[in-house]
Each structure stands twice: as structure tokens, then as C-alpha cells.
Amino acid sequence: MTLIEDLKRIEGEALARIAQTEDLASLDAARVEFLGKKGSLTGVLRGLGALSTEERPAVGKVSNEVRQAIEAAIEERKAMLAQAELAERMSAGAVDVTLPGRKRLPGRAHLISQITAEVVDIFAGLGYQVAEGPEVELAHYNFTALNHPPTHPARAATDTFYVSDAGGSGREGDPESDVLLRTHTSPVQVRVLEQQKPPVYVIVPGRVYRRDIADPSHLPQFHQIEGLAVEEGITFGDLKGTLDHVCRELFGRDRKTRFRPHFFPFTEPSAEVDVSCGICVGSGCRFCKNTGWLEILGCGMVDPNVFGYVDIDPERHVGFAFGMGVERIAALRYDIPDLRMLVEGDMRFLRQF
């Protein structure tokens, strides 16, 4: 019966060894040592052939039990070690709560919105009120009531986006009822004067559209701020003083401005105001088309014909009006070399403002 004793001894050794293993590799080494081809259990079973036929079944039965006990112990230990290894890996890869968090950058207004708010603020300080009008406009307000004759070139479908089909075929549409995307904020002058009686002081920010190809100084869609003042006894001097004040507020005293005689159908006399180019400081560059100056607004005294459309007595009331391009103001203030940067949505650019 020494074989049975050997088997029991091997079982005891094996279970003790398995309990001591600390990782899957040493557990596998233990399995080979006891159950492998050259293992101790296999060695004992080799002696089975020398036994008598009476002894053999009892020894065979014990050896099976020992093998099963060892195998069960290995499986149990394996599951335990695998669990422990997983737990260790998890704690090693856990979130490091001492790391700085991921910042969510706060949003901000687009530069065009910022400047619009600033200009509106300056005029609010002068007592102006904000008015708005539709971007999809009637030709009546955009052109006719602003004293544009039916043949005026700005009415052409090559210059203006028409919504109605008639306008799309050129000047054959109805100069009154054609529907278009407004080409300037000036139609709001007419809409305001239909609703309000003088004294009127309004500032009108808004989006406008022209059939231009985008280039460094043009966009087919841009923003204007219109101003209109109507009262008794207003002069061109009031207009000039107002715009000088605004230019100083917007650009600072180191930038020069100039008034240049110009023509607009709805103002008489008219002028364009230029600000000196901050990119080339007057020497001429691509942005200012080599003139050293950049046009930022058109202005003038309200043409009496416009008052005729809104039933205001031109013998009694006088007015001045102006319209400035917001993108141009932005470009001038921050020396932006290409207006297209304002609509490309590149946050590396926009975040600077």
C-alpha cells in the first residue's frame, strides 16, 4: 500500500504548492511539476503495472481522486489569480484625479457682432435709437423710394440678388414690387420715416447682400450700420461732427480720416469717408488698392425727393444719413488683410478678438 501513501503525499504537496503560487506563470509551473508527462503523479502511476490485479483497482481509484483534487485546486487558484491580476491592472490604469481637468472654453461674440454692439453703443450715447428692417426687401424700399431711377445700374441682376423671377431677367421686372436681398441698410431709412415723425435719430445694424466675388476687400454678404437723423435746422456740419466723433472713438487719434465728394441717389450733397490704411500706413498695398486709404462709409444730406415718398415736408425738415461697413471697420481696427478670414470660421483667428 505504499503507492497509496505516495499518492496522498503528492496530493498534500501539490495542494500546498498551488496555494502558494502568486501568479499564473508559477501556477502553470506547479501544474507541470505534478501533472505533466514527467510529473510526480505520472511517475507514481508508472509503478501501477507492478501491482497485483487485486491491488490495482484501489490504487487506480485513489490516483484518479488525487488527479481530480489537484486539477480542481489549480482551476480554483487560476480564477483567483486572474481576478487579482485584473484588479491590479485596473487600479494601475485608474483615472488620476490630480490631473488638471479638460477646460471648456467659454463662447464669445463674433468680431462683427462685437463691433456692431460697440458702434450702436457710441450712437446710443448720442441719443440714437436702434431700428431694424427685413433682409428680403422690396425694390420699392431698396431703390425706388431712395430716388434710384428705373434704369439705375445697381438694379441690374448682375449687381443685386433677386428673389422674384422678374428681377432675375434683368431690368424687365417691376421696379416697385420686385423682391430682392437688400443691397444696403438704407431702405430702413424709408421704413422708419413711414412710421415715425421727426425728430428722428436712428441707428440700423444689419446684413446686406451684393453680387460680388469674395476677395480681400469684398464679400457677397456683409454687414452695415445705417444712421439717420431728421430734424429742423440740421446741417452738413452736424453730419461731419458726428462722424468725426465716431471715427475717433473707433480708430483712435492716430488714424486719419477724410471726406471725399461722392454721389448717392438718396443724399445731396454726398460724401464718402476714408480712413488711412493701417496695414501700409498710407504707402499703398493690396488691401487699400495702393491708395493708402480705405473707404468705410457713405453719407450725405437726405435728398428732398426721399422725403416726398414718406410725406415729410422738405421745406421744414432736414436730415443727414450715413452707412458704414462693419467688416471694413473690423479690418481697419485690427489690420485684417483679408475680409474672407471673418467668414471662414477658423477659431485660431476668431479667438484673438
Rule CB under 6 A: choose which of 322, 326, 329, 330 binds ligand PHE: 322
CA distance 143 to 147: 7
Q: What are the backbone angles phi and psi of residue 293, rounded to the nearest 5°?
A: -130, 150
Tell me the closest approach of the beta carbon of residue 228 to ligand PHE, in angstroms: 8
Task: Name the residue with the smallest CB distance to ligand PHE.
Answer: 323
* CA dist 161 → 168, 178, 190, 225 (Å): 8, 11, 20, 20
Cα 37 to Cα 33: distance, rounded to the nearest angstrom: 9
Answer for which of 186, 242, 257, 276 binds ligand PHE (CB under 6 A) is 186
Print the binding letters for residues 117-156 with ligand PHE: x by CB under 6 A, - otherwise: ----------------------------------------
Our CB check for ligand PHE shows the closer of 147 and 270 to be: 270
Q: What angle do CA 160, 330, 110 make, to 5 degrees?
A: 90
Please report, for residues 106, 257, 276, 283, 288, the alpha-carbon distance to residue 292 in angstroms, rounded to integers and kept in the order given: 38, 11, 6, 6, 6
CB 246 within 8 A of CB 118: no
Q: Which is nearer to ligand PHE, 188 or 279 (CB)?
A: 188
N-term to C-term CA, the chain: 95
Give burial (CB, 10 Å; 0-12/13-18/19+) of 316. exposed
Among 30, 112, 318, 321, binds ligand PHE (CB under 6 A): 321
Interface pick for ligand PHE out of 323, 330, 336, 342 (rule CB under 6 A): 323
184 binds ligand PHE (CB under 6 A): yes
Cis peptide before 269 (omega within 30 of 0): yes
Per-position DSSP letters for 80-126, written without gaps between them: HHHHHHHHHHHHHTS--TTSPPPP-PPP---HHHHHHHHHHHHHHHT
Closer to ligand PHE by CB, 63 or 270: give it. 270
Count the residues of the shown chain that bind ligand PHE, applying the rule CB under 6 A.
12
The nearer residue to ligand PHE, 288 or 326, going by C-beta atoms, is 326
Residues 260-279 that bind ligand PHE (CB under 6 A): 264, 267, 270
Shortest distance, CB of residue 210 to ligand PHE, whole angstroms? 9
Stretch of 56-64, 74-82, 127-135, 315-323 lying at the interface with ligand PHE (CB under 6 A) = 315-323
Q: Which of residues 40-59 bind ligand PHE (CB under 6 A)?
A: none
Least distance (Å) between residue 310 CB and ligand PHE: 15
Q: Considering only residues 295-314, where is the footprint of ligand PHE by CB under 6 A?
A: 298-300
242 touches ligand PHE (CB under 6 A): no
Minimum distance between the CB of residue 191 and ligand PHE, rounded to whole angstroms? 14
Strands (E), the chain: 129-130, 136-138, 179-181, 200-209, 221-231, 257-264, 267-276, 293-302, 318-325
Q: Where along the sequence are the contacts to ligand PHE (CB under 6 A)?
A: 184, 186, 226, 264, 267, 270, 298-300, 321-323
